[in-house]
Amino acid sequence: MRTNEFGELTAFVAVAEEKSFRKAAARLNLTASTLSHSLRTLEERLGVRLLNRTTRTVSPTQAGMALLAEIAPAFSAIASAVEKVNTYREIPQGTVRINTPRIAAELVFMPRLKQFNQAFPDIQLELATNDGFVDIISEGFDAGVRIRGDVQQDMNAVRLTHDFHSAVYGSPEYFNRYPKPLSPADLQHHACIGRREITGGALYRWEFEKEGKQIAVPVSGPLIVDSVTMMTRIALDGIGLVYTARSPEHDALVGQGLLVRVLEDWAVTFPGFFLYYPGHRQLPAALKAVIDSFRLPQPGQ
């Protein structure tokens, strides 16, 4: 088989499996136009149409499905063999695509990206923030991040964080203007920074718990944002109170006197984040490096 024929078949397998030139192009790190040219050349050489194309969809023809069934296992075996070789590299390299909620990107990845880049300069880490649920396999991701209960049973999962505790913060400047809330009911008299729920789009009700009593409080204020970084900046600027997950960064700001935490005795515990990935394939060296760098250290480590 000539090199160009192998490339054409590789392009065909990617497009047929992804059912999208755009997704296949991202998977192969090529342009969609290059893939389209390869597929046309392959079809002309074989004298048969392999793909049905419309402006919205791409799907294999009967001939295309027959070809895919024959060659896909071989390509999978080749990919597995290559990944096994990659494990022998002294320096992991390549692209690792991860789908993650925005809050996990900000709390888990951002604080350690510089250290990771310095340790693995040959790895290109692509973080796609998406608070909805994404099929990481069909979308071409190597791994995803979700809380444990949202991870599919057939996936490998590695814990990234401890469980989270909720926290309400404001700045000393803000509390010079308003009294500190002593109970969640007092929040109706405060400027509270809102955020919308992932599903439905309703404004999130701040959740609290104390002595077995659970309540969800509707709040209002001058801003609605979906970023922990933005919330922290807003709180530091004295614009209003924010409800977020307690983190070492927030603890440091409290210790420096830049933020004040209130309603601590009403804190709620939320499940921590896990990184998950398909369990039916050889673990690529680059993905293993990501897992080892961002996973929650075990006791004694």
Mean predicted lDDT score pLDDT of the chain: 88
Q: What pLDDT, on the 0 to 100 scale, is given for residue 200? A: 67
The CATH number covering residue 45 comes to 1.10.10.10
Give the pLDDT confidence score for residue 63 in this predicted structure: 92
The pLDDT of 278-295, averaged and rounded, is 84
- pLDDT category at 172 given cuts 50, 70, 90 is very high
Residue 299 domain-assigned?
A: no
Whether residue 176 is found in the same domain as residue 250: yes
E strand or H helix that includes residue 248: helix 248-255
pLDDT at residue 233 in the model: 96
Q: Are residues 185 and 261 in the same domain?
A: yes
Question: Are both 240 and 280 inside the same structural domain?
Answer: no
Domain that residue 251 falls in: 164-270
Q: Please state, in angstroms and rounded to a whole number, the distance separating the CA atoms of residues 286 and 283.
A: 8
Are 241 and 169 found together in one domain?
yes
Alpha-carbon dihedral of residues 142, 147, 149, 151, nearest 10 degrees?
0
Contact 264, 163 (CB under 8 A): no
- Do 252 and 279 belong together in one domain? no
Domain with 252 in it: what CATH number? Answer: 3.40.190.290
The verdict on 185 and 224 lying in the same domain is yes
Per the structure, the count of domains in the chain is: 3
Q: With 60 as the cut, is the pLDDT of residue 280 above it?
A: no
The pTM (predicted TM-score) of the whole model is: 0.65
**Domain presence at residue 301:** no
Q: Which of 30, 12, 32 is nearest to 22 (CA)?
A: 32
Q: Residue 251 — φ and ψ, nearest 5°?
A: -60, -40
Tell me which residue has tokens 């439905």: 200
Q: What is the pLDDT of residue 148?
A: 74
Residue 147 and residue 128 share a domain? yes
Please give the residue that has the higher pLDDT: either 127 or 132: 127
pLDDT at site 159: 93
Mean predicted confidence (pLDDT) in 95-100? 93
300 domain-assigned: no
- The answer on 277 and 262 residing in a single domain is no
CATH code for the domain of 106: 3.40.190.10
97: left (phi over 0), alpha (psi -120 to 50) or beta: beta
Same domain, 158 and 277: yes
User: Which of 86, 112, 138 is a domain's end point?
Assistant: 86
- My answer on whether 264 and 276 are in the same domain is no
Using DSSP, state whether 210 is helix, strand or coil. strand
Q: Is residue 81 scored above 90 in pLDDT?
A: no
Which tokens belong to 227? 């970023």
